[in-house]
Amino acid sequence: MRRAFGALLAAATIAATGAAGQGFREFRSGPPGAFDYYILALSWSPTFCAFEGGRRADDQCEPGRRLGFVVHGLWPELERGRLGDCGELSRPPSRMALEEARGVFPSEGLARHEWRVHGACTGRSPAEYFADVRRARGSVRIPDASRKPDREWTASPREVERAFAGANPGLRADMMSVTCRRGQLQEVRICLERDLRGFRACPRASGGACPLDGLVVTEPR
């Protein structure tokens, strides 16, 4: 698998950047629809399931599903700070709206949560928001090396970024970030224009720090 990532690296035409990660700030309130860009957060399911997902028997962690990258959420963001926790201003999604989320999120519970915390801040209806999530996910190609891995492997954060850039023309390192949890790949976060028509540069908002020499990418089960 390391060789597969290496091949993707060779195909990438971007220059690596050394910008430092910037941690997420606390949520800021604001009127729905008043945001600057989106982050599409793609979670590496095996890491989630190795921690809280497996302990609470989350649907996405059922044995045999072998999920790799899944949609965590589509987050409306501000140039300075985060926009979120708008659930008290929104109506819950209808069953029809949740049908739009089916097959995009790994579980209905996650779809409901993401609508309450993030989707309600977009100014869109639940059905429109879930359709936007589907559209955003469809605009990003997962690198071949991580589509159906059959073993655990290691890769540096920069290698993961370059693999995604190589699979997605126009995507650069300053348009995404890689996050880790206890040395394991957690998420790849990709910044998109608010009309979802392209990638864009953005403040690098990282979660847990990743080891520079190599993070563990666990095998789906």
Question: What domains does the chain contain, in order, with CATH numbers?
Answer: 2-11+26-217 (3.90.730.10)
Residue 1: pLDDT above 60?
no
Torsion angle (degrees, nearest 10) of CA 38, 44, 45, 47: -120
Task: State pTM to two decimals.
Answer: 0.84
Mean pLDDT within 40-54: 90
Chain CA centroid to CA 120, Å: 18
Determine the pLDDT at residue 3. Answer: 47
Query: Using CA atoms, how far apart are residues 168 and 42, in angstroms rounded to an integer?
Result: 14
Residue 51: pLDDT above 50?
yes
Query: Using CA atoms, how far apart are residues 167 and 34, in angstroms rounded to an integer?
Result: 31
- The pLDDT-based confidence of 31 (bands split at 50, 70, 90) is confident
Query: Using CA atoms, how far apart are residues 33 and 142, in angstroms rounded to an integer?
Result: 29
Q: Which residues pair with 154 in a beta bridge?
A: 216
Query: Using CA atoms, how far apart are residues 26 and 17, in angstroms rounded to an integer?
Result: 26
Residue 190: pLDDT above 80?
yes
Asked whether 182 and 208 are in contact (CB, 8 A), the reply is yes
Determine the pLDDT at residue 89. Answer: 59
Asked whether 91 and 121 are in contact (CB, 8 A), the reply is no
Positions marked catalytic: 72, 114, 118
